[in-house]
């Protein structure tokens, strides 16, 4: 882990092009995007650091990345900015007898995931390593945790602390917005 942190620090400082994985991440994301079917596969995310810009512009000497990367290796902007996603519900379709998900935003300390549940589909008891909120965009869910169950409809929100065992059950076909707050760095 320390070795990885040293490599990341060297990458961010622009000193160690050999260990910077921006190109590899970008190539993997592009390959994943090509292989993903158009039907509700997670959106590919690629590093938007200056490495990619240099490659695309044809510069012989690529600029080194100065962006921050999350625990999964995705680039995160460190500059103040406004993130925006319009019409969340339209970004996911409910599939018959299935639960589908799609990451729609990845920012410093935040990941936003859309879920589509057909009626009677569920996420069995599990925990999250970070605090989360759940909101329903369409439909009705039953969220259970800490010995309680709540019916969640559009306009409501559920907060779950880190490592709290919980379940999610679709009372009817539903679209859910999950926001994951990760401040571990």
pLDDT in tens, 67-123: 666 666 666 666 788 888 999 999 999 999 999 999 999 988 899 999 999 999 999
Bridge-based pairing of strands 132-138 and 174-181 is antiparallel
pLDDT in tens, 112-167: 999 999 999 999 999 999 999 999 999 999 999 999 999 999 999 999 999 999 99
**Whole-Å CA distances, 29 to 35, 107, 184:** 10, 17, 24
Name which of 104, 84, 110 is nearest 92 in CA terms: 104
Across-strand partners of 157? 135
């Amino acid at each position: 882990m320390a070795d990885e942190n040293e490599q990341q620090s060297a990458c961010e400082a622009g000193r160690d092009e050999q260990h910077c994985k921006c190109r590899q991440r970008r190539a993997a994301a592009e390959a994943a995007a090509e292989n993903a079917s158009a039907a509700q596969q997670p959106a590919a995310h690629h590093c938007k650091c200056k490495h990619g810009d240099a490659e695309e512009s044809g510069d012989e000497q690529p600029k080194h990345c100065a962006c921050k990367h999350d625990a999964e290796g995705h680039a995160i902007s460190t500059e103040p900015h406004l993130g925006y996603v319009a019409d969340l519900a339209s970004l996911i379709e409910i599939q018959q007898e299935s639960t589908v998900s799609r990451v729609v935003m990845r920012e410093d300390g935040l990941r936003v995931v859309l879920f589509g549940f057909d009626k009677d589909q569920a996420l069995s008891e599990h925990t999250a390593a970070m605090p989360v909120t759940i909101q329903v965009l369409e439909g009705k869910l039953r969220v259970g945790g800490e010995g309680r169950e709540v019916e969640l409809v559009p306009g409501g929100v559920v907060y779950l602390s880190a490592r709290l065992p919980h379940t999610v059950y679709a009372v009817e076909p539903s679209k859910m917005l999950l926001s994951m707050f990760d401040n571990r760095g």
